[in-house]
């Protein structure tokens, strides 16, 4: 059994879906599970639908959703002939699922409605892909991943119930010759059958969950780049291709915000020694990057930049030292609010915490922390992380920037700047 994951860029046009089918055909000598993301920028568009709905702008939400509907219907019309009517019936069910919700009034938190709306992107894309594969002669079974992946109700970053998910996966998927399954990344469901999401870019994590449970030979993530690069090639044109990486290195990169692999993806693979291949969707003949347990030496500097950061300055209210109780309380708040800090620095009577600027979470954290600390916020910051840095690249990357905070170890340097 192999697991393939195709991201949104791999299915954002008729031509790319056709290319995806060619790749599947090339590798269909053994059982395959295919995880597919929402098409192109569909998730971003669905986020705007959820935001309009939650703001009480029902008509605007419906209009925005109608644009998404038409885009998917147009794609299906260009791709399908014999399978079109069956695909249309399936798409219509998903359209109705969202439209019913949009005619209601919000009575729960935003994150709940976000998940109910945004999850539809993956359902729409996989319906089209599954029917297209069937039309090209690749018989496959479409699975609603919400029937398989069970989560808690931490909407927008749900946690997996591994026991239930394992049993359902083994029941639904068999590694028989010729077996081909198509399902969604990024989403799951609670015990109450409410849709949940696993965090942005969570499709990689979904693929790793399936690979782990099915004891897959490998997981391949198909992207529109040559493989893993030393920096975002869109921002850094001289970024270097990395032919091999260790699980340890990639989990560090993911922790610091590299977008190439979802932070939770590595653990399920590392636990069972399943190699991860990052391959080029546009040229499947390229070798790509292999990520495994094997240590890799002499890596070049690896650069990650996270924009739109906030620095919380937390200071002891009575000039007492920052002790275990205060730090413990802060980490409890992180857990309760489902916040992952980007950087923490501790002083005698102060703490500084760098976070992604999610306004709702920041406000809740600042309000709760003010019971223990004096709190100040500093916004519109960027966080530079360099793994395997040297003096030359650190100087070049920080030239002309007003440094707010620096944290440095032998392997990694982080600079928060304006």
pLDDT at 412: 94
Report whether 53 belongs to an annotated binding site: no
- Per-residue pLDDT of the chain in tens (418 residues, 90 and over written 9): 999 999 999 999 999 999 999 999 998 888 999 999 999 999 999 999 999 999 999 999 999 999 999 999 999 999 999 999 999 999 999 999 999 999 999 999 999 999 999 999 999 999 999 999 999 999 999 999 999 999 999 999 999 999 999 999 999 999 888 899 999 999 999 999 999 999 877 899 999 999 999 999 999 999 888 899 999 888 898 999 999 999 999 988 888 888 778 778 999 999 999 999 999 999 999 999 999 999 999 999 999 999 999 999 988 888 878 777 778 888 888 888 888 888 999 888 888 999 999 888 888 888 888 888 888 999 999 999 999 999 999 999 999 999 999 999 999 999 999 9
Please check whether residue 33 is in contact with residue 183, taking contact to mean a CB–CB distance below 8 angstroms: yes
Q: Are strands 180-184 and 373-387 parallel, antiparallel or unpaired?
A: unpaired
Domain boundaries along the sequence of the chain: 2-292, 302-417
What is the CATH number assigned to the segment(s) 2-292? 3.40.1160.10
* Closest to 43 measured CA to CA, from 129, 113, 115, 118: 118
**Which pLDDT tens digit goes with each residue over 164-186?**
999 999 999 998 888 999 999 99
Report whether 6 belongs to an annotated binding site: yes
* Domain 302-417 falls under CATH 3.30.2130.10: yes
Ordered DSSP codes for 231-278: S-TTT-TTPPEESEEEHHHHHHHHHTT-SSS-TTSHHHHHTTT--EEE
Report whether 306 belongs to an annotated binding site: no
Q: Given the structure tokens 């924009």, which residue do they identify?
A: 307
Q: What are phi and psi for residue 320, nearest 5 degrees?
A: -85, 160
**Which pLDDT tens digit goes with each residue over 268-308?**
999 999 999 999 999 999 999 999 999 999 999 999 999 99
Q: Hey, what long-range contacts does 78-84 have (CB within 8 A, 24 or more apart)?
A: 78/14, 79/14, 79/17, 79/18, 79/128, 79/131, 79/132, 79/135, 80/128, 80/131, 80/132, 80/135, 81/135, 82/135, 83/131, 83/132, 83/134, 83/135, 84/131
Please check whether residue 125 is in contact with residue 38, taking contact to mean a CB–CB distance below 8 angstroms: yes
Measured CA to CA, the distance from residue 354 to residue 357 in angstroms comes to 9
Partners of residue 405 on adjacent β-strands: 416
Report whether 5 belongs to an annotated binding site: yes
* CATH topology identical between 2-292 and 302-417: no
């Amino acid at each position: 059994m192999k697991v393939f994951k195709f991201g949104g860029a791999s299915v954002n046009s008729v031509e790319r879906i056709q290319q995806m089918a060619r790749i599947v055909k090339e590798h269909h000598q053994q059982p395959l599970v295919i995880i597919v993301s929402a098409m192109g920028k569909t998730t971003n568009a669905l986020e705007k639908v959820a935001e309009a709905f939650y703001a009480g702008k029902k008509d605007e939400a419906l209009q925005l959703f109608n644009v998404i509907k038409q885009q998917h219907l147009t794609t299906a019309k260009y791709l399908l002939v014999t399978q079109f009517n069956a695909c249309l019936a399936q798409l219509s069910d998903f359209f109705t699922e969202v439209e019913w919700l949009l005619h209601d009034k919000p009575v729960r938190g935003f994150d709940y409605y976000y998940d109910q709306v945004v999850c539809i992107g993956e359902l729409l894309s996989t319906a089209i892909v599954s029917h297209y594969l069937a039309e090209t002669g690749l018989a496959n079974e479409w699975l609603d991943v919400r029937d398989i992946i069970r989560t808690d109700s931490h909407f927008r970053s749900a946690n997996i119930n591994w026991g239930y998910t394992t049993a359902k996966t083994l029941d639904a998927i068999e590694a028989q010759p010729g077996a081909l399954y198509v399902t969604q990344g990024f989403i799951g469901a609670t015990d109450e059958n409410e849709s949940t999401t696993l965090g942005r870019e969570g499709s990689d994590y979904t693929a790793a969950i399936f690979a782990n449970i099915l004891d897959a030979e490998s997981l391949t993530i198909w992207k529109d780049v040559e493989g893993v690069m030393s920096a975002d090639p869109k921002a850094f044109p001289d970024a270097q291709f990395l032919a091999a990486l260790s699980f340890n290195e990639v989990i560090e990169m993911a922790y610091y915000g590299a977008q190439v692999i979802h932070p939770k993806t590595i653990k399920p693979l590392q636990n069972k020694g399943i190699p991860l291949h990052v391959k080029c969707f546009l040229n499947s003949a390229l070798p790509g990057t292999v990520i495994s347990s094997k240590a890799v030496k002499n890596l070049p500097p690896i650069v990650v930049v996270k924009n739109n950061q906030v620095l919380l300055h937390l200071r002891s209210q009575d000039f007492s030292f920052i002790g275990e109780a205060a730090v413990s309380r802060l980490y409890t708040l992180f857990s309760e609010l489902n916040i992952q800090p980007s950087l923490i620095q501790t002083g005698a009577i102060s703490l500084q915490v760098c976070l992604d600027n999610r306004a709702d979470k920041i406000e809740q954290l600042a309000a709760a922390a003010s019971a223990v600390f004096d709190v100040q916020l500093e916004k519109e910051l960027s966080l530079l992380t360099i793994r395997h840095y040297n003096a030359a690249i650190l100087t070049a990357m920080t030239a002309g920037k007003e440094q707010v905070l620096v944290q440095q170890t032998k392997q990694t340097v982080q600079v928060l700047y304006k």
